[in-house]
Amino acid sequence: MLKGRMIQGCRAIAEAVTLCRPRVISAYPITPQTLIVEELASIVADGGLDTEFINVEGEHSAASLVLGSSAVGVRVFTATSSQGLLYMGEVVFNIAGMRLPIVMINANRAVSAPLNIWNDQQDSISMRDSGWIQLYAENNQEACDLVFQAYRIAEDHRVMLPVMVCVDGFVLPHAFEVVDLPSQKEVDAYLPPYQPIYKLDPDNPLTMGAFTEPDKYMEARYMIQRTMEASIPIIEEVAREFKRTFGHAAGGLFEKYRVDDASTVVVALGSMAGTTKDVVDDLRNKGQKVGVLRLITYRPFPEEALYEALKGAQNIVVIEKALSLGGSAPLAVELRSVFHGRPASPKISGFVIGLGGRDVTTDDLKYAIEKAQQQLINMEFIGLRTDLELEGINA
Amino acid sequence: MKITLGTVTHPGGSRVNKTGAWRTAGKPRFLHKNCIACDVCALGCPEGCIFGTGQRTYYANEDFCKGCGICASGCPVHDIEMIPEGGEDA
């Protein structure tokens, strides 16, 4: 029997954040993140969390506010989505460069234009180079579990980098699922109070985010890159300890589902993996050796572990809710670089799917798998309508 | 030299980080003729790098002087002139 409560994702995530005891929360409402911060606001208003909940006039301010609060040496939280994440952009890069262990929930949503409030992952994928660790949740249980792990990873003195927990907009925060949340005592034991290395303090003044000339800037960026690489085993360690403490698995670099003897492996991020697992079960029943590798940690990109996990496959089918316009399917491209110049060389096909909230159906996934088994697909859109005239394209 | 996480710096960094090399438009030369020790040059210096203890004692610390010329244009007795880089010591 499932443990836990039937609860809406936004409420579950807000309760998970509450259990982490952030001292400052600032966010600006944007669909589909809004419900999460509304739930947090009501928890604070009901006296359920001793924190400063600060309303601001936009996401640039929300990010700046948590930046400053984190610099003072306290645990902070923010959440956003889509245009809000892009509007934060400047500060997002600053937070990473200043090595502030901020945790943010990004409710993944399509990016304008055209204006669209539904789910894809273009927003966070566009922020992949910002220096944030990015974790992608499959369901609401994992979204909550990743929040606890995110603070552990971010605040580890060997890391000191911000973590973005990405949850597919609407698919997770608006859905009701059974979620098992730990007690405050358990979370306190797993997540000790934040100990900053540096903090702003009038009695012991220092400067953060100072001007750096060409003679030092490159070293500062190199330090982030090396730390990103070094955080891969730390992310695994935090997930292992999570399982020991709470009794169920969550987080880590990726989840392998029926991968080990598979000749075709689908690679996906976030909630799509759930549908894909059903497709895999279906195809397995028909005798096909298919599996799913659900990538959880997208930044840092766990190159070596991915090579080891996927080197036995003949076909890799990457399905993505994002694309690099004028380029290709970003995860497929990156995965190809993992195998470049190495003994194993599976065919890696890239498919763009479900943009702007279009349903990702089992038929779509079966089509992609079948297509990739027949030939290498550089990049193809799945589920495009054929009944429309597209000016400048086919009209 | 150590680069800290997030390039955090402690007070006093600007003493070490000498900015005199930013000068592109000459530097002040204190003539030490008409000086009345009014202190206008020192007070007006945006770098705070002009010092003096009495008449005809003022000088600019070239490690930090950026050559803006505010001292020369503000001197009420025209006792400071701007000269090209590589000229006499200030």
Domain boundary among A207, A223, A246: A246
Query: Is residue A122 a contact partner of residue A166, using CB atoms and an 8 Å limit?
Result: no
Q: Which of A207, A215, A216, A231 is the mutation pick for testing B, counting most B CBs within 10 A?
A: A207
pLDDT the model gives residue A395: 66
The answer, for B5 touching chain A at a CB cutoff of 8 Å, is: yes
- A73, A108: one domain: yes
The answer, for B10 touching chain A at a CB cutoff of 8 Å, is: yes
At A24, which CATH number?
3.40.50.970
Whether residue B7 lies inside any domain: the answer is no
Residues of B within 8 A of A99 (CB-CB) are 5-6
- A228, A347: one domain: no
Tokens found for residue B53: 């203890």
Measured CA to CA, the distance from residue A316 to residue A376 in angstroms comes to: 9
Whether residue A392 lies inside any domain: the answer is no
Residues of A within 8 A of B2 (CB-CB) are none
HSE, side-chain direction, 13 A CA sphere, residue A19:
25
Mean pLDDT value across residues A210-236: 95
Mean pLDDT value across residues A12-26: 98
Whether residue A103 lies inside any domain: the answer is yes
Mean pLDDT value across residues A271-285: 97
Question: Domain count of chain A?
Answer: 2
Measured over all CA atoms, what is the biggest interatomic distance in chain A, rounded to whole angstroms? 70
Contact B5 A198 (CB under 8 A): yes
Residue B88's SS3 state is: coil
- A219, A302: one domain: no
Q: What percent of chain A has pLDDT over 90?
A: 97
Mean pLDDT (chain A, rounded): 97
At A351, which CATH number?
3.40.50.920
Whether residue A395 lies inside any domain: the answer is no
Q: What percent of chain A has pLDDT over 70?
A: 99
Question: Searching chain A, which residue's CA lies closest to the CA of residue B4?
Answer: A220
Whether residue B72 lies inside any domain: the answer is yes
Residues with Cβ within 8 Å of residue A145, at least 6 apart in sequence: A16, A242, A246, A248, A250, A251
Check pLDDT > 50 for residue B49.
yes
ipTM: 0.81
Whether residue A240 lies inside any domain: the answer is yes
Contact B13 A198 (CB under 8 A): no
Measured CA to CA, the distance from residue B7 to residue B26 in angstroms comes to: 32
Check pLDDT > 50 for residue B69.
yes
pLDDT the model gives residue B14: 79
The answer, for A206 touching chain B at a CB cutoff of 8 Å, is: yes
Check pLDDT > 80 for residue B86.
no
- A34, A182: one domain: yes
Tokens found for residue A338: 């993992």
pLDDT the model gives residue A33: 97
Domain boundary among A219, A246, A273: A246
CB atoms within 10 A of CB A7: 18
Q: Which domain holds residue A370?
A: 256-381
Check pLDDT > 50 for residue A127.
yes
Check pLDDT > 70 for residue B88.
no
The alpha-carbon gap from B13 to the nearest alpha carbon of chain A, in Å, equals: 9
Question: Domain count of chain B?
Answer: 1
Measured CA to CA, the distance from residue A378 to residue A375 in angstroms comes to: 10
Whether residue A78 lies inside any domain: the answer is yes
pLDDT the model gives residue B89: 53
Residues of A within 8 A of B10 (CB-CB) are 205-207
Band (pLDDT 50/70/90 cuts) for residue A390 is very high
- A183, A66: one domain: yes
Contact B6 A198 (CB under 8 A): yes
At B60, which CATH number?
3.30.70.20
Continuous segment of H or E residues that includes residue B50: strand B50-51
Query: Is residue A164 a contact partner of residue A129, using CB atoms and an 8 Å limit?
Result: no
Whether residue B54 lies inside any domain: the answer is yes
pLDDT the model gives residue A2: 66
Question: Searching chain B, which residue's CA lies closest to the CA of residue A99?
Answer: B6
- A209, A295: one domain: no
Contact A219 B3 (CB under 8 A): yes
Name the residue among B5, B7, B9 with its Cβ closest to that of A197: B5
Tokens found for residue A77: 């939280």
Q: Which domain holds residue B70?
A: 32-81
Whether residue B86 lies inside any domain: the answer is no
Query: Is residue A72 a contact partner of residue A200, using CB atoms and an 8 Å limit?
Result: yes
pLDDT the model gives residue A89: 97
Measured CA to CA, the distance from residue A251 to residue A173 in angstroms comes to: 18
Measured CA to CA, the distance from residue A249 to residue A97 in angstroms comes to: 31
Whether residue B10 lies inside any domain: the answer is no
Mean pLDDT value across residues A287-291: 98
Q: Which of residues 55-74 of B touch A (CB under 8 A)?
A: none
Check pLDDT > 60 for residue A125.
yes
DSSP B3-37: PPGGG-B-TTHHHHS--GGG--S-EEEE--SS---
Measured CA to CA, the distance from residue A100 to residue A77 in angstroms comes to: 12
State yes or no: cis peptide before B84, omega within 30 of 0.
no
Query: Is residue A33 a contact partner of residue A84, using CB atoms and an 8 Å limit?
Result: yes
Query: Is residue B30 a contact partner of residue B77, using CB atoms and an 8 Å limit?
Result: no
- A241, A261: one domain: no
The answer, for B7 touching chain A at a CB cutoff of 8 Å, is: yes
- A239, A280: one domain: no
HSE, side-chain direction, 13 A CA sphere, residue A259:
23
Whether residue A193 lies inside any domain: the answer is yes
Mean pLDDT value across residues A82-108: 98
Query: Is residue A108 a contact partner of residue A33, using CB atoms and an 8 Å limit?
Result: no
pLDDT the model gives residue B90: 45
Question: What does pTM read for this prediction?
Answer: 0.90
Contact A97 B6 (CB under 8 A): yes
Domain boundary among A246, A273, A296: A246
- Kindly calculate the radius of gyration of chain B based on its CA atoms and give it in whole angstroms: 15
Residues of A within 8 A of B8 (CB-CB) are 198, 206-208, 210
Mean pLDDT value across residues A48-73: 97
- A31, A81: one domain: yes
Angle between helices A217-246 and A82-97 (to 10 degrees): 110
Residues of A within 8 A of B9 (CB-CB) are 206-207, 210
Check pLDDT > 90 for residue A227.
yes
The answer, for A200 touching chain B at a CB cutoff of 8 Å, is: no
- A60, A139: one domain: yes
The pLDDT tens digits of the residues spanning A147-174 come to 999 999 999 999 999 999 999 999 999 9
- A47, A100: one domain: yes
Mean pLDDT value across residues B46-63: 95
The pLDDT tens digits of the residues spanning B12-33 come to 877 888 889 889 889 999 999 9
Name the residue among B3, B5, B9 with its Cβ closest to that of A207: B9
Q: Phi and psi of A105, rounded to 5°? A: -95, 130
The alpha-carbon gap from B79 to the nearest alpha carbon of chain A, in Å, equals: 36
Q: Which of B2, B5, B9, B18 is the mutation pick for testing A, counting most A CBs within 10 A?
A: B5
Q: Which of residues 11-50 of B touch A (CB under 8 A)?
A: 11, 13
Residues of B within 8 A of A207 (CB-CB) are 8-11, 13
State yes or no: cis peptide before A114, omega within 30 of 0.
yes
Residues of A within 8 A of B13 (CB-CB) are 207, 210
Contact A219 B13 (CB under 8 A): no
pLDDT the model gives residue B59: 97
Q: What is the 3-state secondary structure (H, E, C) of chain A?
A: CCCCEEEEHHHHHHHHHHHCCCCEEEECCCCCCHHHHHHHHHHHHCCCCCCEEEECCCHHHHHHHHHHHHHHCCCEEEEECHHHHHHHHHHHHHHHHCCCCCEEEEEECCCCCCCCCCCCCHHHHCCHHHCCEEEECCCHHHHHHHHHHHHHHHHCCCCCCCEEEEEECCCCCCCEEEECCCCHHHHHHHCCCCCCCCCCCCCCCCECCCCCCCCCHHHHHHHHHHHHHHHHHHHHHHHHHHHHHHCCCCCCCEEEECCCCCCEEEEEECCHHHHHHHHHHHHHHCCCCEEEEEECEEECCCHHHHHHHHCCCCEEEEEECCCCCCCCCHHHHHHHHHHCCCCCCCEEEEEECCHHHCCCCHHHHHHHHHHHHHCCCCCEECCCCCCCCCCCCCC
- A207, A160: one domain: yes
pLDDT the model gives residue A394: 81
Tokens found for residue A273: 């993996």
The answer, for A212 touching chain B at a CB cutoff of 8 Å, is: yes
Mean pLDDT value across residues A358-372: 97
Q: Phi and psi of A291, rounded to 5°? A: -145, 175
The answer, for A209 touching chain B at a CB cutoff of 8 Å, is: yes
